[in-house]
Amino acid sequence: MINSERIVNTFIELSSIDGISGNELEIANLVIKKLTNLKCKVFMDNAGESFGGNSGNIIACFEGNISAESIFFSSHLDSIKTTKNIKHIITNGIIETDKTTILGGDDRAGIAIVLEILEVILENNIPHAPIEIIFTVCEEDGMHGSKNISKDSIKSKFGFVFDCQAFPGNYIVEAPGAVSFNAIFKGKSAHAAVSPEKGVNAIFIASKAISKLKLGRWDETGMLNIGIINGGEAINVVPDKVEIAGETRNADEKLLMNQINYIESTFKLSAQELKGEVEVKFNHKYGGYKFTGQEKMIQIASEAIRNSGMEPNPIKYSGGSDANIYNSNGIAALNLGVGFNNAHSFDEKIAIKDLVKTAEIGLNIIKLISFESKLLERDLHAN
């Protein structure tokens, strides 16, 4: 039922519009027009006001034609880098660019998939529960859009996010929470040639502290990274201040707290040993989650994947997404594999067959929920 030519054309149209985080208004207006044409009730919230963006989240309702509880589908509008002047190249069923821009498959592919599902439902008059559609803003820059969505604003008990670069058939059962940190190491300035012994080199303290850290991967979802270092005034001055910034992640809350304590204690011990000081601040960016596999949304997704001719594959994923925010806010959400590869790079690509297959999985989710509702209704009448 999925129209491969249409979904490709929709994806190309969507990814041709520049819409980096905080500047999604143009792509938002196009999506609003498309949703309206699909007979959805659409509105834009005020999420952009909370972070200085020019657009809010798009929230839409695709009314059901059977009596059933609603579900939601979600993707994000923004891209990590510009797609301005994008040149699409399709070779052997693979969509990519001329390597001068990213493709924007993360996550315009998700939007194209959701729109195609709605198109197919309408043109085939498929029985379906109400579907809430959430297209968020500023996902790439900290999931600011989804942070504006409360549990009370969503009627659905669970939903599905189309925003994982794993291939169709995969779904994320474990994803980490993330904590960023900022540390300011303080020493004592002095003339580096005339009286270096009077100084305390803050860069040396910071480098010693960093060298003691276990950087890189800790486990399947755990990691620690130092990404920014700033400090010093001149090459002939012992630096009295240096600032570093980094991030640590883990899906297990206790392990994440252990990593935070480890960073803080390592920094403070290094500063103390070298007669300096350090101030460390942590910022909890978003929470992690773990599913048991028994959740209803996972059971439905697994059967939908099988009905699409694939074997369901639960994965642990080290990246974050809007699903982290939804689950942290009590809105159950399962992130499904879409198949865009090399996300955030000029080598990004996606196979047409993966676009089609993911849309098929989403459509089968709708069919299964409708079938369940019919069985429930039949049993109620029988009793």
Which residues are designated catalytic?
78, 139
Burial class (CB in 10 A: 0-12, 13-18, 19+), 294: exposed
Can you spell out the DSSP letters for 219-284?
SSS-EEEEEEEEE-S-TTEE--EEEEEEEEEESSHHHHHHHHHHHHHHHHHHHHHTT-EEEEEEEE
Label the pairing between strands 88-91 and 94-97: antiparallel
* Residues 298 and 159: beta-carbon distance below 8 Å: no
Provide DSSP, 83-134.
-TT--EEEETTEEEE-SSS---HHHHHHHHHHHHHHHHHHHHT-----EEEE
Q: Which helix (H) or strand (E) holds 344?
A: none
Q: Exposed, middle or buried, 49 (CB in 10 Å: 0-12/13-18/19+)?
A: exposed
- The DSSP secondary-structure symbol of 314 reads E
- CA-nearest of 59, 60, 65, 107 to 83 is 107
β-strands 277-286, 237-238: how paired? unpaired
